[in-house]
């Protein structure tokens, strides 16, 4: 089966610019997650979707971050405007349902200049 | 106190050694326990998935869960240079809002 696909793999932008990340989960997986991973740390949840509904976005900095999962398949995570502290790897994961093991994409490595 | 504690290492072992990786946790509601392997510049890859207490074996890998001690382990037998990676533990539970909690990862290097 095809894995979780993310794009772009790398993104370099100047601070205050907008940026968007895209994720295509494994076919049939209803639950989709966006994580942020800093160097030497584990993934930190930003938002979790059950189909097209965001069921946990308590850790999403809503003043600058937004996400959507139209039609309950692909998802987009946006940052506007980006700040220096947003430099990290943004990981997307999917699972058949909550509490099932998650499968990760290779992430988008974001660098803010 | 963090929900999940994991020794970050780094851990360096000779090829063929038995490796023991560990995590401790504080929330007794955790029921599902996972180990992920993460190579540099790649996403975490699921290695082992266990429910509740007990052992699970898959090839050279064995996962152990001791819920009474709130302690989980991953053993790697006959370690290979290709096992060099960061290993992340993760856990969740129905009564924890279905949220996954990750350790910080242990960096492992297997020396040929």
Q: Does the beta-carbon distance from B97 to A56 stay under 8 Å?
A: yes
Over 70: is that where the pLDDT of A8 sits? yes
pLDDT tens for each residue of A63-80: 999 999 988 899 999 999
Q: Is A81 exposed, middle or buried (0-12, 13-18, 19+ CB in 10 A)?
A: middle
Across the range B35-41, mean pLDDT stands at: 96
Share of chain B above pLDDT 90, in %: 82
The confidence band for B34, taking pLDDT boundaries of 50, 70 and 90, is very high
pLDDT band (50, 70, 90) for residue A2: confident
Calculate mean pLDDT across residues A17-38: 96
- The whole-number average pLDDT for the span A35-43 is 94
> Angle at the Cα of B87 (from B82 to B92), degrees rounded to 5?
145
Of A44-53, B13-22, B68-77, B88-97, give the lowest mean pLDDT range. B88-97
pLDDT of residue A104: 97
Q: A 74-103 residues with CB below 8 A of B? A: 91, 93, 98-99, 101-103
Summarize the confidence of residues A98-111 as an average pLDDT: 93
In 3D, which of B106, B100, B4, B96 has the Cα closest to residue A94? B100
Reply yes or no on whether the pLDDT at B89 is more than 90: yes
Q: What average pLDDT does the segment A86-96 reach?
A: 97
In terms of C-beta density within 10 A (0-12 exposed, 13-18 middle, 19 or more buried), how is residue B72 classed? Answer: buried
Taking the Cβ of residue B94 and every Cβ of chain A, the question of whether any pair is shorter than 8 Å is answered with: yes
Query: Pseudo-torsion of CA B51, B24, A58, B45, nearest 10°?
Result: -60
- Distance in angstroms (rounded) separating the CA atoms of residues A25 and A21: 13
| Chain A nearest CA to B112, separation (Å) | 24
Q: What pLDDT was estimated at residue A93?
A: 97
pLDDT of B76 > 80? The answer is yes
Average pLDDT over residues B19-35: 94
pLDDT of A1 above 70: no
Using a CB-CB cut-off of 8 Å, the residues of chain B touching A42 are 4, 6, 88, 90, 102-105
Rounded distance, CA A112 to CA B14, Å? 39
DSSP structural state of residue A100? S
CB A69 within 8 A of CB A49: yes
Task: Kindly report the average pLDDT of chain A as a whole number.
Answer: 94
Q: Specify whether the CB–CB gap between A47 and A56 falls below 8 A.
A: yes
Query: DSSP for A1-40?
Result: ----EEE-SEEEE-TT--EEEEEE--TT--EEEEEEE-TT
Residue A107 has pLDDT above 90, yes or no: yes
Min Cα distance B49 → chain A (Å) is 7
Name which of A40, A91, A109 is nearest B8 (Cβ-Cβ).
A40
CA B38 to chain centre: 11
Q: Is the pLDDT of residue A38 over 70?
A: yes
Q: Determine the Cα–Cα distance for residues B77 and B16; give it in Å rounded to an integer.
A: 7
Q: How far is A10 from A108, CA to CA, in rounded Å?
A: 5
A76 close to A68: Cβ distance less than 8 angstroms: yes
Band of residue B1 on the pLDDT scale cut at 50, 70, 90 = low
pLDDT of A12 higher than 70: yes
């Amino acid at each position: 089966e095809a894995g979780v696909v993310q794009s772009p793999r790398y993104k370099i932008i100047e601070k205050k610019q907008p940026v968007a990340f895209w994720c295509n989960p494994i076919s049939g997986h209803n639950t989709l997650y966006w994580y942020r991973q800093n160097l030497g740390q584990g993934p930190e949840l930003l938002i979790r979707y059950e189909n097209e509904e965001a069921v946990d976005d308590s850790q999403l900095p809503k003043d600058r971050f937004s996400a959507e999962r139209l039609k309950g398949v692909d998802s987009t995570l946006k940052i506007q405007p980006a700040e220096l502290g947003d430099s990290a790897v943004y990981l997307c994961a999917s699972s058949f349902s909550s509490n099932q093991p998650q499968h990760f994409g290779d992430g988008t490595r974001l660098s803010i200049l | 106190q963090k929900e999940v504690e994991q020794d970050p290492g780094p851990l360096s072992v000779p090829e063929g050694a038995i490796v023991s990786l560990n995590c401790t946790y504080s929330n007794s509601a955790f029921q599902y326990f996972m180990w992920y392997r993460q190579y540099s510049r790649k996403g975490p890859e699921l290695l082992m998935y266990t429910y509740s207490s007990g052992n699970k074996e898959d090839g050279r890998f064995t996962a152990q869960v001791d819920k009474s001690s709130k302690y989980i382990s991953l053993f790697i037998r006959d370690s290979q240079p290709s096992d060099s990676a960061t290993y992340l533990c993760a856990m969740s539970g129905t009564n924890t809002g279905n949220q996954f909690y990750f350790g910080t990862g242990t960096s492992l290097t297997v020396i040929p």
